[in-house]
């Protein structure tokens, strides 16, 4: 639409055409107001019935809520108007009339269940606080990309249809690929590692991962956005430094560029960029601290995975982002390298928000013989991974990296109750469309 002005840019003295949704019509008798909403905000359109063309008044006041209109007219200063300006219309075009019955009330006066909201995302995002989540999500991805660029890494895109899984065989979605069995990729793990031996050396990818998680929880999706990093000549501690840099950059970007969105979410006072180094606890310290909280019925012992209640108890205890390092080798995947002086101890790490795990990573096993042995120990057929392992015979540098769950980052940053609130069209056990 030529010459369209955003409502937020309409200044007294201007003659403008504004366009957007009919937020509200208030008819007070001789005077009536229509509130027009667009991406930038809202503006009042004033109708003085006795002084205006009858047809213009009828069009303006007869249009249903949430219809799309454009209005041309003069902008006037008006202290009683919600934004201190109003438009006195010369003409109104109804571009798309909305039904009178809406499945969801975009003014938010009537609460809707999450499932109704997800079924009607278009209307749901007309609410300022919902739109704000996705503006912030976009800012997080923008800041993260910039942070990766600071780190000198190159963005890559790897296939999502693959021949093998990497993160444990049970969580794969099988598909048929021209008559052959294939899978939706669970992680770009092997592909990002393959790029370590290439001339790119340091890479990142932001893309979907697919996991056939059977359970329905507030923090699992069947399609999630993974923010992956991998660097040649990094050990696990350098990978943790990079992780901290990227996560802080996401918070900084939001603090700097999303004031309005944080206000819409009521977070303008609460929102804090994490400061200082994230504490690094060993797995052994972590289980001791969890046991000391007394929150678990059974004490954890070396080799146990951390149960959700354990993670939460530790999160409450630590009270900020933190790393758990030096996990038992037996509970970390085959591609994670063990410490040189202790085979039972891996270089794997997790980065935690007090509410949940955000990141897994580690230094990788880059020695061909050890890697193939690891496959066998995990009951995987090294032959099936030949496309991956063979590159470790042609000059694969030591390397380390990690994967960060994009939705979990946004969810924990904004204190969202359910991970689905951080995804436009979530995929879960019940939801395949829209």
Binding-site residue positions for ATP: 211-213, 219-221, 357, 405-408
Minimum distance from CB of 127 to ligand ATP (Å)?
Answer: 24
Minimum distance from CB of 129 to ligand ATP (Å)?
Answer: 25
Minimum distance from CB of 289 to ligand AMO (Å)?
Answer: 20
Question: Residue 401's beta-bridge partner residues?
Answer: 230, 362
Interface with ligand ATP includes 256 (CB under 6 A)? no
Interface with ligand ATP includes 31 (CB under 6 A)? yes
Interface with ligand ATP includes 48 (CB under 6 A)? yes
Phi (first) and psi of residue 327, to 5 degrees: -75, 155
Minimum distance from CB of 218 to ligand ATP (Å)?
Answer: 43
Phi (first) and psi of residue 46, to 5 degrees: -105, 135
Nearest C-alpha neighbor of 305 from the set 330, 339, 342 = 330
313-372 residues in contact with ligand ATP (CB under 6 A) are: none
Interface with ligand ATP includes 184 (CB under 6 A)? no
Nearest residue to ligand ATP, using CB? 30
The DSSP annotation for 257-307 comes to H-HHHHHHTT-TTT-----SPPPEEEHHHHHHHHHHHT-SSS---TTPPPP
Would residue 211 show up in a list of annotated catalytic residues for this protein? Answer: yes
Helix (DSSP H) and strand (DSSP E) numbers for the chain: 12, 18
Closer to ligand AMO by Cβ: residue 17 or 166:
166
Identify the active-site residue in 23, 65, 126, 220: 220
Nearest C-alpha neighbor of 247 from the set 269, 275, 222 = 275
Identify the active-site residue in 121, 142, 219, 339: 219
Rounded CA separation 320/61 (Å): 52
Q: Which of 86, 228, 421, 428 binds ligand ATP (CB under 6 A)?
A: 86
Q: Which residues in this chain contact ligand AMO in the complex, by CB under 6 A? A: 167, 187, 189, 211, 213, 220-221, 224, 226, 228, 357-362, 401-403, 405, 407-408
Rounded CA separation 362/216 (Å): 28
Closer to ligand ATP by Cβ: residue 1 or 28:
28
Q: Which of 19, 34, 81, 414 binds ligand ATP (CB under 6 A)?
A: 81
The DSSP annotation for 335-350 comes to TBPEETTEEEEE--EE
Minimum distance from CB of 29 to ligand AMO (Å)?
Answer: 54
On the question of a cis peptide bond just before residue 222, with omega within 30 degrees of 0, the verdict is no
Rounded CA separation 68/65 (Å): 9
Catalytic residues: 211, 213, 219-220, 357, 360, 408
**Interface with ligand ATP (CB under 6 A):** 28-31, 46, 48, 78, 80-81, 86
């Amino acid at each position: 639409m030529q010459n369209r002005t955003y409502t937020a840019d309409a200044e007294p003295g201007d003659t403008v055409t504004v366009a957007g949704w009919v937020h509200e019509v208030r008819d007070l008798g001789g005077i009536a107001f229509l509130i027009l909403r667009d991406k930038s905000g809202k503006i009042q359109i004033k109708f003085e019935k006795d002084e205006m063309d009858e047809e213009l008044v009828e069009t303006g006041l007869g249009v249903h809520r949430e219809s799309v209109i454009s209005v041309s007219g003069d902008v006037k200063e008006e202290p009683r108007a919600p934004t201190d300006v109003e438009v006195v219309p010369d003409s109104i075009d109804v571009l798309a009339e909305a039904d009178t019955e809406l499945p969801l009330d975009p003014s938010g006066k009537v609460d809707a269940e999450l499932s109704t909201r997800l079924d009607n995302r278009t209307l749901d995002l007309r609410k300022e606080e919902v739109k704000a989540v996705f503006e912030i999500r976009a800012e997080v991805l923008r800041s993260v990309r910039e942070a990766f660029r600071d780190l000198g890494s190159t963005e890559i895109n790897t296939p999502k249809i693959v021949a093998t899984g990497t993160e444990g065989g049970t969580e794969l979605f099988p598909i048929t690929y021209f008559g052959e069995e294939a899978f939706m990729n669970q992680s770009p793990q092997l592909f990002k590692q393959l790029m370590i031996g290439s001339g790119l050396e340091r890479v990142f990818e932001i893309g979907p991962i697919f996991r056939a998680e059977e359970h329905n929880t507030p923090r699992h999706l069947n399609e999630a956005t993974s923010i992956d990093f991998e660097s040649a000549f990094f050990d696990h501690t350098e990978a943790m430094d990079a992780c901290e840099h990227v996560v802080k950059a996401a918070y900084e970007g939001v603090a700097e560029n999303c004031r309005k969105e944080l206000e819409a979410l009521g977070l303008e006072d609460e929102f804090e960029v994490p400061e200082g180094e994230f504490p690094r606890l060993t797995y052994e310290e972590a289980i001791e601290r969890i046991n000391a909280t007394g929150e678990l019925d059974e004490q954890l012992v070396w080799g146990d995975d951390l149960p959700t209640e354990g993670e939460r108890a530790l999160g409450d205890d630590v009270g900020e982002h933190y790393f758990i390092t030096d996990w038992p080798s037996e509970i970390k995947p085959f591609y994670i390298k063990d410490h040189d002086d202790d085979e039972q101890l891996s270089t794997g790490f997790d980065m935690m928000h007090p509410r949940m795990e955000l990141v897994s990573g580690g230094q990788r096993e880059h020695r061909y013989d050890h890697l193939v042995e690891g496959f066998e120990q995990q009951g995987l057929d090294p032959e099936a991974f030949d496309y991956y392992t063979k590159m470790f015979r042609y000059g694969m540098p030591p390397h380390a990296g990690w994967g960060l769950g994009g939705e979990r980052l946004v969810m924990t940053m904004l204190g969202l109750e359910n991970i689905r609130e951080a995804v436009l069209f979530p995929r879960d056990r019940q939801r395949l469309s829209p």
